[in-house]
Amino acid sequence: MTARAVPVASVTLAEAADAFLARRDLDADTLRSYGQTMRRLRREFGDPAPLAQVTAEQTATLFDHAWGDAAARTWNRHRSALRSFCAWAAAPGRGWITTDLAALIERRPEIRDRTRAIDRHIITALLDRRDVPLREKTLWRLAYESAARADEVLALNIEHLDLDNKRGRILGKGGTTRWIHWQSGTTRLLPRLINGRTSGPLFLADRRPAPARMPADADLCPHTGRGRLSYERAEYLFKQSTKKHDRRKRGFTLHQLRHSRLTHLAEDGWSAPMLMGLSGHANIRSLAIYTNVTAEAVGAALAKQDPTRRHR
């Protein structure tokens, strides 16, 4: 039965959410973000709940409970997803809701943080930790050394790797195919992680998926039967492992590995074209936010060039 054929009064939250996420105009990043919000709504109100009976008061309470302590950017991202869903569900020809479920959820002001790069010493400590499982150790090092987006790294398949040349083929932002490159640290870890596998996802989930949640064939390992490690799970594990290093005690995000790598290389004198070649940025303006050097680097550079400093 198509979404249009479902009587308005009987459209369930599950039916509406599935139809909303099945749209072809959503790119992978947007789909992942919207999916997180919709899964929380479904878990809170239940799949069989009639969409028309969900109220703005209920969604406001859900937001306070689920993301009340989250960063403003996270809160606003989920709010934006809910608003998009409401506009889509209320569109002419659909008319599944008449209420803006985000009406009582105010946008939070975002404070731009120019210190998002992780200190070099913390990066070294993270990548050298011996209490971290091999999968996470490899993921973190590969994400940092390659300066690739975390979702691009997680999407790598074993057959996409060129181990001899320390590179892997990915489908980048905008649907373009490009190579990401890594260094010897990652090269030493990859054979242990692959462990004889010849195809399928490089990074695997902890266990086999339940029959009701079987992933697509492309996300299933033919050797182990396990699915691809999800972005949400990888992000959660990274945050939990880095809370003690974060002054805000929230833990770092996987994206900060990319940000940190580009910042550190900019501090080391890499040119903008070289940084763009590594990161996959097509526009130098979009690269600029990653190359704000840290206060420590500025201080060290000034000290090094100080003509009156003492020499030991």
How wide is the angle at C-alpha 251 spanned by C-alphas 246 and 252, nearest 5°?
90
pLDDT for the residue numbered 308: 65
Tokens representing 166? 């320390």
126 CA to centre of own chain: 19
pLDDT value of residue 8: 59
Q: CB of 224 within 8 A of CB of 199?
A: no
**Mean per-residue pLDDT pooled into runs of 10, the chain (312 residues):** 50 94 83 92 94 94 92 90 94 89 91 71 93 96 94 94 95 79 96 96 91 83 93 92 83 92 90 88 75 64 64 52
Residue 6: what pLDDT? 47
Domain 120-300 has CATH 1.10.443.10: yes
How far, CA to CA in Å, does 172 sit from each of 52, 236, 297? 39, 23, 31
pLDDT value at position 71?
81
Domain(s) labelled CATH 1.10.443.10 in the chain stretch across 120-300
**pLDDT of 116:** 80
Check residue 5 and give its pLDDT. Answer: 45
- Give ranges for CATH 1.10.150 in the chain: 3-89
Amino acid 83: pLDDT: 95
pLDDT of residue 295: 63
In this structure, the number of other CB atoms found within 10 A of the CB of residue 80 comes to 16
- Alpha-carbon distance of 103 to 106, in angstroms, equals 8
The confidence score (pLDDT) of residue 40 equals: 94
Burial category of 26 from C-beta neighbours within 10 Å (exposed 0-12, middle 13-18, buried 19 and up): middle
Give the Cα separation of 117 and 198 in Å (integer). 35
Say how far apart CA 85 and CA 83 lie, in whole Å.
5
pLDDT at 98: 87
User: Could you confirm whether domain 3-89 is CATH 1.20.58?
Assistant: no
Residue from 289, 285, 293 nearest 266 by CA: 293
Residue 3: what pLDDT?
Answer: 41
pTM above 0.85, yes or no: no
The encoded tokens of residue 142 equal: 């590969």
pLDDT at position 27: 79
